[in-house]
Amino acid sequence: MAGRRSAGGARRAALPARLSPQLATLSKTLPEGGDWLYEIKFDGYRILARIDRGKVRLVTRGGHDWTSKMAPLARALCGLGVRSAWLDGEIVVLDESGVPHFNALQNAFDSARTNGIRYFLFDVPYLDGYDLRALPLRERRARLEELLESNASEEVRFSAALSGDARSILRSACELKLEGILAKRADAPYVSARTTTWLKLKCAQQQEFVIGGYTDRSGSSSEVGSLLLGVYRADGQLVFAGAVGTGWNAKTGAELKTRLGELEVSRSPFAADGPVQSGRWSRGSRGAKHWVKPQLVAQVSFTEWTSDGSIRHASFQGLRADKPAKAVVRETPRPDPPSPRGRRRARSDPHGIAS
């Protein structure tokens, strides 16, 4: 078995009780120099699987145990035949075209029908008595691929590296309506932190936002008209980041209204120096604004940030249950690498990635 091989950097160690995932840094530019691997950026939930003597635990990036919600997947992982492991990957539901669909994943949990969930594994920090985190990514992935080839299943799959040059890979991903790609240094260790050895490059801007309020839909008080969104800043205040009023149907709009109605409060949760309180925010002002406890997290796509810190042309993708509201901040791309003297200024392509 792959985990039994010995190699420089792999060391015998007890199975860690807990493990925090390595996180990628948002980037607007493709990496230059070095040895990089590219993978699909899946539109799903990040899950770590802990296996100890045949017992499987499925843990979210926030440390919550979701094993009971995904019993079919836990059984499939038992079939891998490993004694002990930490496996890292993303759970998704695929549409008819084989493309991950976030709303379908959310619906699977809402209906308690999780048979269709697929788990794409891309890393193995620990396997059968060996801590592999110090190994280069390429070696960890080779062990993971070997493990999955020997124990193939419909539910548990390997996230294969994409072949080709980075720009072509990203363009193809965007044309296929995928969320984007991940660039990972093939020679880097596994680190339980946000690092620049893992970069995420998105086809469109998308991130999580905290719902701090809503307006009623015009002509239907049983549905939401728009969601008022925010992100937390360094001082712990929830700052207004705009609104989203599209991306759901009547059924979802009514469900959102019911859930938000249970959280309604009399005072705004947004920072007092934001545009909601100052009167600079106009969208939705024709309808009453309802404030809610800032507990629900929405996944939202949008075209850009305005100069005053609001998002434009937003579309609701679904609610996220895998990330606590307090952890939601504005994602900031890493600074562009300095250009060598004499290089032409970077050109932008249709997907907003500098060349």
Q: Which two tokens stand for residue 261?
A: 């109605």
| Angle ∠(315,240,292) on CA atoms, nearest 5 | 85
Residue 290: name the closest of 236, 207, 217, 237 by CA. 217
d(CA 287, CA 82): 57
Please give the Cα distance from 8 to 35 (Å, whole number): 19
Active site residue 184: no
**β-strand pairing of 55-60 with 118-127:** unpaired
What CA–CA distance (Å, rounded) separates 222 from 86?
A: 45
* Cα–Cα distance, 160 to 142 (Å, whole number): 10
Q: Which position among 28, 41, 69, 200 bears the catalytic label?
A: 41
- CA dist 66 and 64 (Å) reads 6
Q: What angle do CA 236, 237, 241 make, to 5 degrees?
A: 125
Output the six-digit token pair for 183: 């660039």
Residues with catalytic function: 41
